[in-house]
Amino acid sequence: MCLAIPALVVERRKGDDAVIDLGGVRKTVSLALVPEAVEGDYVIVHAGYAISRLDPAEAQRTLALFAEIDRAAA
Amino acid sequence: MKKDYVRPVDFRNGRVDMSHGSGGRAMAQLIDELFVAAFDNEWLRQLNDQACFAVPGGRMVMATDSHVVSPLFFPGGDIGCLAVHGTINDVAMSGARPLYLSATFILEEGFPLADLKRIVESMAAAARDARVPIVTGDTKVVENGKGDGVFITTTGLGVVPEGVEISGDRARRADRVLVSGTLGDHGVAIMSFRENLEFETTIRSDTAALHGLVAAMVAAVPGIRCLRDPTRGGLAATLNELARASGVGFRIREQALPVRPEVHAACEFLGLDPLNVANEGKLVAVCAPADSARLLATMRAHPLGRDAAIVGEAIEDRQRFVQMETGLGGSRMVDWLAGEQLPRIC
Amino acid sequence: MKFVDEFRDGGLARVLAGKIERAVEPGRRYNFMEFCGGHTHAISRYGVTDLLPASVNMVHGPGCPVCVLPIGRIDNAIALARDHGVILCTYADTMRVPASERSSLMKAKAAGADIRMVYSAADALRIAREHPAREVVFFAIGFETTTPPTALAILEAERQELANFFVFCNHVLTPAAIANILESPQVRDIGTVPLDGFVGPAHVSCVIGSAPYEYFAEEYAKPVVIAGFEPLDVMQAVLMLVRQVNEGRHEVENEFARAVTRDGNVKAKALVAEVFELRRAFEWRGLGEVPYSALRIKAKYARFDAEKRYGIVYRSVADNKACECGAILRGAKTPKDCKLFGTVCTPETPMGSCMVSSEGACAAWYTYGRFRDREAA
């Protein structure tokens, strides 16, 4: 429903503005809703605003979960 | 006796005004100092209302396009070279060698002459590089508010070699589908400039004249069935057009489509599908299965076909659907786009 | 693209498909509603259904804010631009939604109304600043993901003391819609629509957190798994739902743990609470009146409220009688059950909410899936 993308915060600018990068494409968005985000963090961006941070460790855990050997198969 | 002094056209600060279209001295001067000077060839130097040339024997091909792109200048090109490339490509897609172009301009009163000069010089360079002269044209001026700066219409003529029969209705079951390179570059470059959508990217329009590539392809595989350039509507529109004309279906593989990572990313931002995004320097080819390896190698050997790929094949399908095997391993349709492509947030 | 491509990997998809195949119990049917239009879109666009066993049936829910926007509200938006001469700023999604008298925002724009597409509420604010002599109205739509940016825009307009910026608020709420579906006769009493669980929205949950779904899981004894928008996320969520159903559990699980926490975005929620309050009722296209399902601007910020400024009167406009969107949104019918589907009603000429945006159940089926219909034909 809500088109949102995970992007890397590459530069914080004045106020809440920040430059984010997804796959080499950069855009200036607002971090007003996620003010604690710093350069190097990943955030979820929707309609010009970051709405939450993305936790890389959790992301890896989720991917590992997909690949996990099926307990039920045993 | 004092020599006649005519103040040269002020290309730095001047603007188009109604006198430039009225047929009088101002118009003649603009034509002379801008169009003839830039396009510079034996036909234009004659200053006739028409161009006269001998036509080599064979079947002639004619194509025409109007160009209303906005913005006029974008990364990788402008409305001028886009117009020249576009018509050269339309002629070339029949397998023909493009020979001559005409160009007409509808200028809006108030349009900066500096921009016009930039556009015309870009057209001249594109025509020179392609070795296809612009031999005749026309200029009109409309009142302020009645045009979008400049509209350009180009018409091209060419000749098709003997034995070459390339047409959208010739695809048959099992034929292979090839694309000449990365998809979506032009559309993304344009969108990156549009109001309220600015994002920074190094994606440039792929606008290019493809007749050299086509000549090499036709020489290697004279039996090519179809050629088309996937402009507005992208690869999706082109495949649906070919499917409808030929009475077949197509099945393509998402993993085989060449798309730059930045184009993928820009499309993600905007909720677009690269399959629906315009290209201005790419072509789609359909050929018999036995010819596909040779055709691919020929394309890849050419500077404009380095990223060429075989992306799918024609299948038996009375309903003429275009299907795609997704990267995930599932299947879905590749349909015409409903209306103009708009970015979305939802 | 990091954190995107990995979640679309074909190899992992096959692994997950295998796990789901082994997890489903023979002879048992599983019906899961993916509430969110984004999930409907992901499922269709990647052909996820091809990787699920036949016993798993995905039911497409009403989580598409464009789809459920009533015709009457689009009429109001058009009237603002056409009759009040405002600059109407809107997300591009709404442009083609058909309104009354065969109109639409796109057509009104073609006829001369000053309607501009924006990517963000901040763009509308900027336009207001750049045109102090004109009145600018932001057509605010969307679920809880899109509401905080609108709240920010209003607060910023106040901070900048803008006198020419207004918001036409059409924000709607996810939990209310889920409740409406679960309360519908087909689901609750008649049981013609067995719903065994929900795939919960991804980005709405980034904002509201996973906590609000606990009420549904408890009250209606249905499992909810919040899933990210990538196809592997959806498949993992289906696996988790199948396991919950098999084990007789009805909990809220969070597959999208990389972006969703139990509390969500506290700051965003606080901003929304500062600027907006609940409407007692709001009409949803296809669902009718849903209580406490939408927001309006609080009295404190009334001077930014377009409804007050322009005295907007809402007039309900009914859909075509043959339109089955209401049933489709509740999962009681499929697009193919609708007489209008594919003939009178197509993405170019949408008749009802399910066809209006590319995420609606009918649009998704038409655009991505109708090549499968010939097997039945």
Q: What is the Cα gyration radius of chain B?
A: 22
Please compute the mean of the pLDDT values over residues C161-181 and round it to a whole number.
Answer: 93
Please compute the mean of the pLDDT values over residues C344-356 and round it to a whole number.
Answer: 86
Distance CA C283, CA C290 (A): 6
Please compute the mean of the pLDDT values over residues C28-55 and round it to a whole number.
Answer: 93
pLDDT > 70 fraction of chain B, expressed in percent and rounded: 95
Q: What is the pLDDT of residue B110?
A: 94
Residues with Cβ < 8 Å from C158, sequence gap 6 or more?
A: C301, C304
Q: What is the pLDDT of residue C177?
A: 86
Order of strands, edge to edge, in the sheet holding C136-142?
Answer: C115-117, C87-90, C136-142, C165-171
Tell me the pLDDT tens digit for each residue of C216-262: 899 889 999 999 999 999 999 999 999 999 999 999 999 999 999 99
Residues with Cβ < 8 Å from B241, sequence gap 6 or more?
A: B168, B228
Q: What is the pLDDT of residue C376?
A: 46
pLDDT above 50 (res C129):
yes
Asked whether the beta carbons of residue B345 and residue C93 sit closer than 8 angstroms, the reply is: yes
Distances (CA, A) of B5 to B1, B2, B8, C186: 12, 8, 9, 89
Using a CB–CB cutoff of 8 Å, tell me whether C275 touches chain A: no
Distance CA C329, CA C61 (A): 5
Please compute the mean of the pLDDT values over residues B239-251 and round it to a whole number.
Answer: 98
CB nearest A23 (choices: B265, B344, B346): B265
Please compute the mean of the pLDDT values over residues C258-279 and round it to a whole number.
Answer: 97
Number of H helices, E strands in chain C: 16, 13
Q: What is the pLDDT of residue C186?
A: 64
Q: What is the pLDDT of residue B340?
A: 64
At what angle are helices B211-220 and B292-300 packed, to 10 degrees?
150
Give the nearest chain B residue to C349 (CA atoms).
B338
Q: Does residue A41 or residue C182 have the better pLDDT? A: A41
Q: What is the pLDDT of residue C189?
A: 61
**Can you name the CATH fold of A4-73?**
SH3 type barrels. (2.30.30)
| CA C160-C87-A51 angle, 5° bins | 55
Residue B147 confidence class, pLDDT cut points 50, 70, 90: confident
Asked whether the beta carbons of residue A53 and residue C259 sit closer than 8 angstroms, the reply is: yes
Chain C: nearest CA to A11, how far in angstroms? 18
Cβ C49 vs Cβ C372: under 8 Å: no
Cis peptide leading into B71, omega within 30 of 0? yes
Distance CA C88, CA B22 (A): 40
Distance CA B230, CA B283 (A): 6
Asked whether the beta carbons of residue A25 and residue B201 sit closer than 8 angstroms, the reply is: yes
Q: What is the pLDDT of residue C109?
A: 94
- The DSSP H or E segment spanning A4 is strand A4-12
Contact list in B for residue A22 (CB cut-off 8 A) is 265, 268-269
Q: Which residue(s) pair with C282 in the sheet?
A: C290
pLDDT above 90 (res B57):
no
pLDDT above 50 (res B130):
yes
Extents of the domains making up chain B: 18-160, 176-333
Q: What is the pLDDT of residue A2?
A: 64
Asked if the domains B18-160 and B176-333 are classified in one and the same CATH topology, the answer is: no
Asked whether the beta carbons of residue A23 and residue B271 sit closer than 8 angstroms, the reply is: no
pLDDT > 70 fraction of chain C, expressed in percent and rounded: 97
Q: What is the architecture, at CATH level 2, of domain B18-160?
A: 2-Layer Sandwich (3.30)
Q: What is the pLDDT of residue C179?
A: 86
The upper half-sphere exposure of residue B281, i.e. CA atoms within 13 Å in the direction of its Cβ, equals 22
Asked whether the beta carbons of residue B255 and residue C10 sit closer than 8 angstroms, the reply is: yes
Asked whether the beta carbons of residue B265 and residue A2 sit closer than 8 angstroms, the reply is: no
pLDDT above 70 (res B115):
yes
Cβ B186 vs Cβ B280: under 8 Å: yes
Please compute the mean of the pLDDT values over residues B336-343 and round it to a whole number.
Answer: 71
Cβ C50 vs Cβ B333: under 8 Å: no
Chain B: nearest CA to C372, how far in angstroms? 9
What's chain C's average pLDDT?
92
Among B204-213, B260-269, B322-331, C353-362, the minimum mean pLDDT is found in C353-362
Mark residue C130 as left, alpha or beta (left: phi above 0; alpha: psi -120 to 50; beta: remaining): alpha
Extents of the domains making up chain A: 4-73
Using a CB–CB cutoff of 8 Å, tell me whether C146 touches chain A: yes
Residue A1 confidence class, pLDDT cut points 50, 70, 90: very low
| CA B288-B292-B296 angle, 5° bins | 145
Please give the full DSSP string across C16-46, using - where no structure is assigned: HHHHHHHHSPTT--EEEEEEEHHHHHHHHHH
Using a CB–CB cutoff of 8 Å, tell me whether C36 touches chain A: yes
Complex-level ipTM beyond the 0.90 threshold: yes
Q: What is the pLDDT of residue C97?
A: 86
Asked whether the beta carbons of residue A24 and residue B202 sit closer than 8 angstroms, the reply is: yes
Tell me the pLDDT tens digit for each residue of B160-182: 988 899 999 999 999 999 999 99
Closest CA to C312 of C166, C132, C122, C101: C166
Cβ B58 vs Cβ B165: under 8 Å: no
Using a CB–CB cutoff of 8 Å, tell me whether C65 touches chain A: yes
The upper half-sphere exposure of residue B86, i.e. CA atoms within 13 Å in the direction of its Cβ, equals 26
Q: What is the pLDDT of residue B269?
A: 85
Cβ B268 vs Cβ C8: under 8 Å: no
Please compute the mean of the pLDDT values over residues B268-286 and round it to a whole number.
Answer: 93
Tell me the pTM: 0.91
Helical spans, DSSP H, in B185-308: 185-191, 211-220, 234-246, 261-270, 292-300
pLDDT above 50 (res C299):
yes
Cβ C31 vs Cβ C1: under 8 Å: no
Three-state secondary-structure class, residue A53: strand
Closest CA to B209 of B321, B98, B52: B98
pLDDT above 50 (res C108):
yes
pLDDT above 90 (res C64):
no
The upper half-sphere exposure of residue C79, i.e. CA atoms within 13 Å in the direction of its Cβ, equals 18
How many beta carbons lie within 10 A of that of residue B50, not counting itself? 9
Residue A74 confidence class, pLDDT cut points 50, 70, 90: very low
DSSP state of C318: P
Using a CB–CB cutoff of 8 Å, tell me whether A63 touches chain C: yes
Q: What is the pLDDT of residue C267?
A: 97
pLDDT above 90 (res B55):
no
Distance CA C150, CA A51 (A): 13
Domains plus CATH for chain C?
Answer: 1-319 (3.40.50.11740), 325-370 (no CATH)
Q: Does residue B147 or residue B66 have the better pLDDT? A: B66
What's chain B's average pLDDT?
92
Distance CA C88, CA C75 (A): 13
Cβ C260 vs Cβ C225: under 8 Å: no
Q: What is the pLDDT of residue C377?
A: 40
Closest CA to B67 of B58, B77, B53, B57: B77
Cα dihedral sign, B215-B220-B224-B228: negative
Amino acid letter, B63: A
Amino acid letter, A33: L
Q: What is the pLDDT of residue B195?
A: 55
Among B86-95, B122-131, B137-146, B306-315, the minimum mean pLDDT is found in B137-146
Tell me the pLDDT tens digit for each residue of B280-329: 999 999 999 999 999 999 999 999 999 999 999 999 999 999 999 999 99
- The DSSP H or E segment spanning C166 is strand C165-171
pLDDT above 50 (res B58):
yes
pLDDT > 90 fraction of chain A, expressed in percent and rounded: 77
Report residue B46 as tokens.
């004659």
Q: Does residue B188 or residue C227 have the better pLDDT? A: C227
pLDDT above 90 (res A13):
yes
pLDDT > 90 fraction of chain C, expressed in percent and rounded: 72
Residue with tokens 């985000």: A37
Assess if CATH 3.30.420.40 describes domain B176-333: no
Q: What is the pLDDT of residue B213?
A: 98
Q: Does residue C369 or residue C260 have the better pLDDT? A: C260
Please compute the mean of the pLDDT values over residues B227-256 and round it to a whole number.
Answer: 97
CB nearest B346 (choices: C9, C37, C367): C37
Q: What is the pLDDT of residue C333?
A: 85
Contact list in B for residue A5 (CB cut-off 8 A) is 268-269
Order of strands, edge to edge, in the sheet holding C30-36?
Answer: C56-63, C30-36, C197-200, C224-226, C252-254
Chains with 3 or more CB pairs closer than 8 angstroms to A?
B, C
Torsion of CA C347, C352, C358, C360, to 10 degrees: -140
Q: What is the pLDDT of residue C137?
A: 98
Among B22-31, B49-58, B333-342, the minimum mean pLDDT is found in B333-342
Contact list in B for residue C4 (CB cut-off 8 A) is 268
